[in-house]
Amino acid sequence: MSPKPIEMNTLFYGDNLPILREHIADESIDLIYLDPPFNSNRSYNVLFQDESGQDSESEIEVFDDTWHWGPSAEATYQDLMSKGTASISGLVNSMRQLIGTNQMMAYLVMMAARLVELHRVLKPTGSLYLHCDPTASHYLKILLDTIFGPENYRNEVIWKRQSAHSDSRGYGSVHDVLLFYVKSNDFTWNDIYQPYDAEYVEQYYRYTDEKGRRFMSGDLGAAGLQGGGYEYEWKGVTRLWRVPRQTMERLDSQGRVFYTRNGIPRMKRYLDEAKGMPAQDVWTDLESLRSWHGERLGYPTQKPVSLLERIVQASSNPNDLVLDPFCGCGTTIAAAQQLGRRWIGIDITHLSIALQKYRLADAFGLVEKKDYEVVGEPEDLGGAHQLAQENRIQFQWWALSVIKAKPIGGVGGSREGKKGSDKGIDGVILLSDDPSGKANRVLVQVKSGHVKSGDIRDLHGTIDREGAAMGVFLTLEKPSKDMEAEAVEGGFYHSPGWNQDYPKIQVLTIEDLLGGAEPKMPPAATTFKQAERSPDEGPKQLGYDVGKAEVKKPRKPRRKPPTALGGSRRS
């Protein structure tokens, strides 16, 4: 039985395959965009090494941010063989015979299972855009042809994401691929336009009026046009015109007619009034995010919101439902919200869900449980214990998100969860409490077990050493009386902007947080947008991105953190 349609904007935490099967109704989605995790910066040969031997296992360990062949991939393959259609099971089996059991095959098996579900949930009028790189785009295209039908292929869009790239012994790789498929020929489409190339503007919009506005010369004659025109004399010139006399008079009075040396009237078509060029399948006008861009969140492979806005505008209408099953830091969600679409996002990391909560609050003022739902996060102490047992780093990210703290070390985190230059600090909150604009900080430490009074002393020392204002100690276990006493001995922090005292060190249990408790502190600075308070509300808020919310910049980890099934660090 198909699940009931989702009525409210929703973020799902978890593996997107079971979430699609258990929560997303048949033919309920208008537009799907997915940017599944796949590292293109790898040796092509490594992708095709067989994973049955010890040597190949040691080689692919370098690329642990993508899927590899193992029990999960094998189980998914067997599921496709037994439950998939004849066409998809036949294709996947043939691919295995051709490619072997390696990373590439694991990736394609996992994608095949998800693309089958995405086809199921898509409306007959719906569209799907799969964002990938040239390393796997040819295989994915065959999968999509099999699942959607080759007749429903529309475009392979090339997005030039950077101007140049130095690649050893080869041409610089500067583009990504967007595979555009539809469910049927009755798909939603809205014409969109790109800015004209500079060469086109110089060639055709080569005239400038007295106000400095550029325009091109438009023919007002109708000779040879099917359907004819209007014959009359205009300022000594008699011919067949495209417009009636009244229109010619109006255009002339508005200064939209200019005359050639021979006295022939022509129409001014202004550049600033032109829609632009109908969008082509090569996009060079959407720049990838750079360090100076205001929307940059410090999230690896974050896409510009302009890229997703183009897709959402072209292939959906207001109030349509947009799905991103690998939603990362939520660029698709932000574009859908901005353009008046409903949305569903899925990701397997609590960090991604947390970032999207911050982004939705700061950019749009949205409130969890009021404006959107979050499904899959711990709702009680038992769920928090279970998460801590399953994945300590995921627990840490979730706990930080409850008090709106940003992870230390950027959004990538630490693969092993080891403490390096962060001195045992897991998160930070930037305060908006200094009229001078100085960034005061609250350092946050998260513990899932084995807490002791020495932890509070260490936190106090780190606060003093780092020049931070306050510290918050989050613990899954109940603190001892000695820990509480150590926190009290920490004294108070006096906020210069709010002229109030706050406990310098605060100990909060996860049970407290689930019960609605919050740290006592001045208002936190906004994360994703600039904002100001009125003079009677307090000092000016500061705008910071996640990448700047650090006590100290940690050393780059040797390996990227792993990406589990259903997760994404791309969008």
The beta-carbon contacts of 457-466 under 8 Å, at least 24 apart in sequence, are 457/486, 458/424, 459/424, 459/505, 460/486, 460/490, 460/504, 460/505, 462/423, 462/424, 462/425, 463/504, 463/505, 465/423, 466/423, 466/425, 466/441, 466/551, 466/552
Alpha carbon distance 229, 227 (integer Å): 7
Domain end point (choices 273, 308, 334)? 273
Q: Is residue 148, in this structure, part of any structural domain at all? A: yes
Q: Is residue 561, in this structure, part of any structural domain at all? A: no
3-state secondary structure string across 181-246: EECCCCCCCCCCEECCCHHHHHHHCCEECCCCCEEEEEECECCCCCCCCEEEEECCEEEEECCCHH
Tokens 């605060």 locate to 506
Quick one: 94 exposed, middle or buried, by C-beta within 10 A (0-12, 13-18, 19+)? Answer: exposed
Alpha carbon distance 543, 232 (integer Å): 63
Please report the pLDDT score of residue 568 as a whole number.
44
Alpha carbon distance 44, 173 (integer Å): 14
Q: Is residue 363, in this structure, part of any structural domain at all? A: yes
Amino acid in the structure at residue 160: K
- 210 in the same domain as 186: no
Q: Is residue 564, in this structure, part of any structural domain at all? A: no
Q: Helix count (H) and strand count (E) of the chain?
A: 17, 24
Please report the pLDDT score of residue 242 as a whole number.
92
The CATH number of the domain where 469 resides is what?
3.40.1350
- Give the pLDDT of the chain (571 residues) as one tens digit per residue: 788 889 899 999 999 999 999 999 999 999 999 998 764 444 334 444 455 544 333 333 333 434 678 888 899 999 999 999 999 999 999 999 999 998 889 999 999 999 999 999 999 999 999 998 888 899 999 999 999 999 999 999 998 877 666 666 778 778 889 999 999 999 999 998 988 888 889 999 999 998 999 999 999 998 878 778 899 999 999 999 999 999 999 999 999 999 998 899 999 999 999 888 888 888 887 776 565 556 666 556 678 888 999 999 999 999 999 999 999 889 999 999 999 999 999 998 888 898 899 889 889 999 999 999 999 989 899 999 999 998 888 899 899 989 988 888 544 443 333 444 446 799 999 988 888 878 889 999 999 988 999 999 999 999 999 999 999 999 999 999 999 999 999 999 999 988 999 999 999 999 999 999 999 998 877 544 433 223 333 332 222 233 333 333 333 333 333 333 444 434 5
Q: Is residue 414, in this structure, part of any structural domain at all? A: no
- 527 in the same domain as 397: yes
- 184 in the same domain as 318: yes
Q: Is residue 413, in this structure, part of any structural domain at all? A: no
Q: Is residue 559, in this structure, part of any structural domain at all? A: no
**How does pLDDT run across 300-324, given as a tens digit for each residue?**
667 888 899 999 999 999 999 999 9
The CATH number of the domain where 64 resides is what?
3.40.50.150
Please report the pLDDT score of residue 540 as a whole number.
29
- 541 in the same domain as 437: yes
- 322 in the same domain as 180: yes
- 323 in the same domain as 179: yes
- Phi then psi for 538, rounded to 5 degrees? 135, -170
| DSSP 8-class letter at 547 | G
User: Is the Cβ–Cβ distance between 398 and 538 less than 8 Å?
Assistant: no
Domain range for 239:
198-273
Residues in the chain: 571
Please report the pLDDT score of residue 164 as a whole number.
65
Q: How many other C-beta atoms can be found within 10 angstroms of the C-beta atom of residue 228?
A: 11
34 pairs with which residues across the strands?
130
- 337 in the same domain as 398: no
Please report the pLDDT score of residue 219 as a whole number.
93
Domain end point (choices 216, 243, 273)? 273
DSSP structure string for 101-134: SSHHHHHHHHHHHHHHHHHHHEEEEEEEEEEE-T
Amino acid in the structure at residue 201: V
pTM of this structure = 0.77
- 235 in the same domain as 147: no
**How does pLDDT run across 260-305, given as a tens digit for each residue?**
988 999 999 999 998 888 888 888 877 765 655 566 665 566 788 8
Tokens describing residue 71: 């029990």
| DSSP 8-class letter at 551 | S
Q: CA–CA distance from 221 to each of 113, 218, 227, 249, 518 (Å)?
A: 59, 9, 13, 15, 73
**Beta pairing, strands 321-324 & 29-34:** parallel
- 349 in the same domain as 477: no
Residues 6 or more apart in contact with residue 17 via CB below 8 angstroms: 113, 114, 117, 565, 566
Q: Is residue 361, in this structure, part of any structural domain at all? A: yes
Alpha carbon distance 571, 406 (integer Å): 19
Tally of domains within the chain: 3
Please report the pLDDT score of residue 293 as a whole number.
58
